[in-house]
């Protein structure tokens, strides 16, 4: 990263992503209930919670892959546009890593990483390629650049997906359960890249079930249940001394194994 | 048999069939893609328009559309896609009107073939393109349509085969293609009736068989590996 932001823990930057009273329904199901969340520059926020608690939906509303009915979401103080070119422009600054990687199947690894910079940022092909190779090297898949996504392992594909997002020089990165579709032996190679990214000062919102990552890399843990933020705290406090009954219950179920 | 071919200009007739097929394939592919894009668009009115086009055209007999092109489009509305100064005015006119009718008709099937291709694409592909900041048009052009065409090769090939055979309907407005030759053969050489039919049938098999083989080959070669 060319970024020279302060490392986490050394004080918070300005508010970057702000959600105010965000509400969303899927039919009768109230999936997001009055969500208020502020993520500061350089901060790493890990969102955890049981399945169906709305954490993925929360992540997807931040770049409006999901719409919401009421409330406000701002990034750098600008409210999310609801559609069109303005929304596309905003999304270009918000990186997103999906559970199912979603690399473009008909494009090579290199083309996957250069598409955004060339088509959206209007960079020259040579410049985009050089930067892409640099990023692929950083995530350790540069020797696979000419292959197609289906020829790579899940872990490699996810690392490429991270490089693809980074190529856009995003101001914030969203991770929607990035390791949930991976075989166990590939989870760490992805988490390592994410940890390294967190250390470099990237602002990150990470929905995950990886408690080890939350402890190691998060500045703050947000616990969601039934569409609401129930508790938020430092990882240390949250894991050792959860306040709410639901958080205790959730941690009891996953940490006893 | 050679005598029949010679007497009724069977080669010329099939050449016209081939030209009808190629021009109509080109225009129906273009028009069908446009209609498919309308049906995929985020604009409700365009979706409705595309859907209505497919519903109306797909459920109308081709003969009706071709005859309408001649009697309605040209006869009633005076749309004349050929020059009166040309010595081949009538031939050009009927040929082009037939191309219009065939293109309009098969565009509906091309659209549906493409939509079936789009359905082979996981929704995450569009989400990834949107999350990178690609606009709807860019996502369509660089992510969705290239994969949709590859996924639609087999149904597009089927449409092309159907189109090749459906050019015979152009005989209804006097285009001198294969079915036109057959009509003359039936009229003037009823003594070799079976041979007449066989000859034209073989001609079509020769035209369509490679299409089928080529599409199967292309479909497996260009398949998007997931």
Best of A59, A81, A97, A104 to disrupt the B interface (most B CBs within 10 Å) is: A104
Residue A7 pLDDT more than 80? no
At B221 the three-state DSSP class reads helix
User: What percent of chain A has a predicted confidence (pLDDT) above 70?
Assistant: 95
Q: What angle do CA A40, A42, A45 make, to 5 degrees?
A: 65
d(CA A124, CA A128): 6
What pLDDT, in 10s, does the model give residues A88-126?
A: 999 999 999 999 999 999 999 999 999 999 999 999 999
Q: HEC states along chain B?
A: CHHHHHHCCHHHHHHHHHHHHHHHHHHHHHHHHHHHHHHHCCCHHHHHHHHHHHHHHHCCCHHHHHHHHHHHHHHHCCCCCCCCCCCCHHHHHHHHHHHHHHHHHHHHHHHHHHHHHHCCCCHHHHHHHHHCCCCHHHHHHHHHHHHHHHHCHHHHHHHHHHHHHHHHHHHHHCCCCHHHHHHHHHHHCHHHHHHHHHHHHHHHHHHHHHHHHHHHHHHHHHCCCC
d(CA A115, CA A103): 11
Size of interface A-B (CB pairs under 8 A): 74
Mean pLDDT of A5-25: 76
Q: How many CB atoms lie within 10 A of CB A95?
A: 29
Q: How many CB atoms lie within 10 A of CB A15?
A: 15
User: Residues B5, B199: contact at Cβ < 8 Å?
Assistant: yes
d(CA A61, CA A47): 14
B147 touching chain A per CB within 8 A: yes
pLDDT for residue A5: 39
Residue A4 pLDDT more than 90? no
What pLDDT, in 10s, does the model give residues A163-181?
A: 999 999 999 999 999 999 9
Per CB-CB distance under 8 Å, the chain B contacts of A98 are 124, 127-128, 131
Residue A6 pLDDT more than 80? no
Q: For the ranges A9-13, A62-66, A208-212, which has the lowest average pLDDT?
A: A9-13
d(CA A204, CA A173): 5
Per CB-CB distance under 8 Å, the chain B contacts of A168 are 132-133
Report how far apart, in Å, the C-alpha atoms of A62 and of each of A229, A241, B115 are.
Answer: 15, 29, 30
pLDDT for residue A52: 87
Q: What is the pTM (predicted TM-score) of this model?
A: 0.87
Closest partner residue to A88 (CB to CB) among B127, B134, B224 is: B134
What pLDDT, in 10s, does the model give residues A46-69?
A: 999 998 899 999 999 999 999 999
A89 touching chain B per CB within 8 A: yes
At residue A70 the predicted structure's pLDDT band, cuts being 50, 70 and 90, is very high
A104 touching chain B per CB within 8 A: yes
At residue A257 the predicted structure's pLDDT band, cuts being 50, 70 and 90, is low
pLDDT for residue B176: 93
pLDDT for residue A242: 92
d(CA B224, CA B13): 39
How far out from the chain centre does Cα B130 lie?
A: 33
Residue A8 pLDDT more than 60? no
Q: What kind of fold does domain B19-177 have according to CATH?
A: MetI-like fold (1.10.3720)
Per CB-CB distance under 8 Å, the chain A contacts of B125 are 102, 104-105
Which DSSP string do the residues of B175-220 spell out, in sequence order?
A: --SHHHHHHHHHHH-GGGHHHHHHHHHHHHHHHHHHHHHHHHHHHH
User: What percent of chain A has a predicted confidence (pLDDT) above 90?
Assistant: 85
d(CA A222, CA A230): 8
CA-CA-CA-CA torsion sign (A243, A245, A248, A250): negative
Per CB-CB distance under 8 Å, the chain A contacts of B224 are 105-106
Give helix then strand counts, H and E, for chain A. Answer: 9, 10
A88–B133 C-beta distance less than 8 A: yes
User: Residues A118, A125: contact at Cβ < 8 Å?
Assistant: yes
Residue at token pair 């006097």:
B174
At A216 the three-state DSSP class reads helix
Residue A203 contacts by C-beta under 8 Å, 6 or more apart in sequence? A13, A16, A17, A39, A40, A41, A42, A43, A44, A171, A172, A173
Nearest CA in chain A to B132: A92
At residue A11 the predicted structure's pLDDT band, cuts being 50, 70 and 90, is low
pLDDT in tens, chain B (226 residues): 788 888 889 999 999 999 999 999 999 999 999 999 999 998 999 999 999 999 999 999 999 999 999 999 998 998 889 888 989 999 999 999 999 999 999 999 999 999 999 999 999 999 999 999 999 999 999 999 999 999 999 999 999 999 999 999 999 999 999 999 999 999 999 999 999 999 999 999 999 999 999 999 999 999 888 8
Residue at token pair 């190629």:
B22
Closest partner residue to A105 (CB to CB) among B130, B133, B224 is: B224
Q: Domain residue spans in chain B?
A: 19-177
What pLDDT, in 10s, does the model give residues A137-167?
A: 999 999 999 999 999 999 999 999 999 999 9
pLDDT for residue A2: 40
Mean pLDDT of A5-28: 78
**Residue A176 Cα, gap to closest chain B Cα (Å):** 12
DSSP strand pairing (A172-176 vs A203-207): parallel
B44 touching chain A per CB within 8 A: no
């Amino acid at each position: 990263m060319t970024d020279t932001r302060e490392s986490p823990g050394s004080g918070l930057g300005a508010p970057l992503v702000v959600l105010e009273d965000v509400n969303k329904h899927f039919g009768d199901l109230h999936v997001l209930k009055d969500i208020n969340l502020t993520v500061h520059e350089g901060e790493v926020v890990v969102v955890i919670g049981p399945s169906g608690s709305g954490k993925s939906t929360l992540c997807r509303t931040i770049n409006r892959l999901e719409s919401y009915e009421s409330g406000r979401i701002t990034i750098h103080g600008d409210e999310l546009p609801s559609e069109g070119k303005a929304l596309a422009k905003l999304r270009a600054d918000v990186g997103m890593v999906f559970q199912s990687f979603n690399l473009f199947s008909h494009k090579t690894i290199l083309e996957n990483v250069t598409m955004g910079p060339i088509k959206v940022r209007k960079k020259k092909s040579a410049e985009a390629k050089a930067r892409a190779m640099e990023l692929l090297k950083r995530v350790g898949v540069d020797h696979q650049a000419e292959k197609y996504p289906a020829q790579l392992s899940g872990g490699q594909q996810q690392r490429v997906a991270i490089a693809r997002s980074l190529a856009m020089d995003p101001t914030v990165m969203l991770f929607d359960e990035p390791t949930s579709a991976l075989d166990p032996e590939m989870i760490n190679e992805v988490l390592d890249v994410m940890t390294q990214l967190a250390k470099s000062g990237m602002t990150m919102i990470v929905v995950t079930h990886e408690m080890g990552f939350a402890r190691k890399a998060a500045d703050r843990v947000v616990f969601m249940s039934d569409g609401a933020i129930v508790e938020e705290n430092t990882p240390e406090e949250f894991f050792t001394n959860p306040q709410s009954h639901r958080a205790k219950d959730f941690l009891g179920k996953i940490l006893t194994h | 048999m050679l005598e029949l071919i010679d007497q009724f200009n069977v080669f010329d007739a099939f050449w016209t069939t081939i030209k009808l097929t190629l021009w109509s394939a080109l225009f129906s592919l273009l028009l069908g893609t446009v209609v498919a894009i309308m049906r995929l668009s985020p604009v409700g009115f365009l979706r409705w328009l595309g859907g209505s086009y497919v519903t109306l055209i797909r459920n109308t007999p081709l003969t009706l559309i071709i005859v309408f092109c001649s009697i309605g489009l040209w006869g009633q509305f005076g749309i004349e896609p050929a020059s009166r100064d040309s010595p081949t005015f009538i031939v050009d006119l009927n040929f082009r009107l037939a191309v219009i009718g065939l293109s309009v008709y098969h565009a509906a099937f091309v659209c549906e073939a493409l939509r079936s291709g789009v359905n082979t694409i996981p929704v995450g592909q569009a989400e990834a393109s949107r999350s990178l900041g690609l606009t709807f048009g860019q996502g369509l052009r660089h992510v969705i349509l290239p994969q949709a065409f590859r996924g639609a090769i087999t149904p597009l090939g089927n449409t092309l085969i159907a189109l090749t055979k459906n050019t015979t309907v152009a005989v209804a407005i006097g285009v001198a293609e294969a079915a036109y030759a057959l009509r003359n053969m039936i009229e003037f050489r009823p003594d070799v009736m079976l041979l007449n039919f066989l000859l034209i049938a073989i001609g079509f098999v020769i035209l369509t068989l490679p299409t089928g083989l080529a599409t199967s080959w292309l479909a497996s070669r260009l398949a998007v590996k997931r």
